Homo-oligomer: A and B are copies of this chain.
Amino acid sequence: MIDKTSTVQDAIKNNVNAGDNIFIGGFGHLIPFYLSHELIRQKILDLTICRSGADILFDQLIASEIVKKVIFGYVGNPTVGLSHSFSRAYKKKSIEIEEWTNQSIIMRLHAARMGVSFIPSKILQIGDKPSNISHLKQVTCPYTDHKFSAIPALKPDIALIHAQCADKYGNIQMWGIDGDTVEGALASDKIIVSVEKIISNSKIKEAPEKTVIPSHRVSNIIELPWGAYPSYVSGFYSRDDDHYIEYDTTSRDEDKLSSYLKNWVHDARNIQEYKKLIGSTKIKELEEGLCGVKNED
């Protein structure tokens, strides 16, 4: 079997092209911050980024001016407030948006993952429809004559996700909250995965139910412990709610945000630098914090 381990630099350089449509994993849990930051460091332009519910990682990608279009159900800083860079870019019209709902984004990914160009749904038939999806078509069930919205497939070029473990061949193990991470990855043409820990194939085979993506679908694996910070990884570390709260203040101000990005993204040339920025006190606190279900090993 092929060894698919890579550096974060090579994985992004060899798999992502300017203009790509990128699904970004993580639903509160397992957000691939460090892996996705590499898109910024390599300044890969004109990207479309998509997922159902997006948080501050989307804000950072938008602020870095590498995003042309956002396809989403929600973009914000959960409980804390708005995604300020998203709001600014939207008002300046420096990004295009395609606005759906969380369920419809997930059903769009599911259609692509099932290999069909649409699936019917009961949603998006009433209420105001954003102008960019006002062309949404209906379909009639040939058996019941019921009307459904026809949710079109969304097949990203590539998915970037973070998970707990993988073997070097690319069998990916994940547990805890998934959201649309696995569905989005499996809908995509290519998949790159950063993990907390690379484990042996025999360890994988001991718990095949934990494997959510099989090796033949994965392009590259990168071991990036703490790569999901400030989100969290069940069994490894908790969420840094304070980081999210402070980010609200930071991102309201474009200058403050620039130095945040210099600090946390551009200058964090490797995962050790990123860990240094988090700091040992915080690391200890988050390792001891509530973090879902512990690794059973």
Q: Which residues of A contact B (CB under 8 A)?
A: 114-122, 137-139, 141-144, 146, 148, 150, 152, 175-176, 206-210, 293, 296
Contact = CB atoms under 8 A, between A and B. Distances in A.
A141 B146 CA distance: 16
11 contacts: A116-B121, A116-B141, A117-B146, A119-B120, A120-B120, A141-B150, A142-B150, A176-B209, A207-B296, A209-B210, A296-B296
Contacts of A121: 116
Nearest to A135: B143
A116 B148 contact: yes
Q: Copies per complex?
A: 2
- In this complex, which of A114, A115, A121, A141 has the most chain B Cβ atoms within 10 angstroms of its Cβ? A141
A149 to B, nearest CB: 10
A210 B120 CA distance: 30
B116 A118 contact: no
A238 to B, nearest CB: 17
Contacts of A152: 143
Contacts of A210: 209
A138 B148 contact: no
Contact of A141 (B117, B122, B293): B117
A116 B118 CA distance: 13
Nearest to A207: B293
Nearest to A140: B139
Contacts of A118: 120, 141-143
A122 B144 CA distance: 20
A296 B209 CA distance: 12
A295 to B, nearest CB: 11
Given A122-B115, A207-B293, A296-B296, A143 B137 contact: yes
Nearest to A294: B206
A207 B296 CA distance: 9
A120 B116 CA distance: 7
Contacts of A208: 293
Contacts of A141: 116-118, 150
A203 to B, nearest CB: 12
Contacts of A146: 117
Contacts of A138: 142
Contacts of A148: 116
A38 B18 CA distance: 62
- In this complex, which of A122, A142, A210, A293 has the most chain B Cβ atoms within 10 angstroms of its Cβ? A142
Contact of A150 (B114, B115, B137, B143): B143
Given A116-B141, A207-B293, A209-B209, 5 more contacts: A116-B120, A120-B120, A139-B142, A143-B150, A209-B210
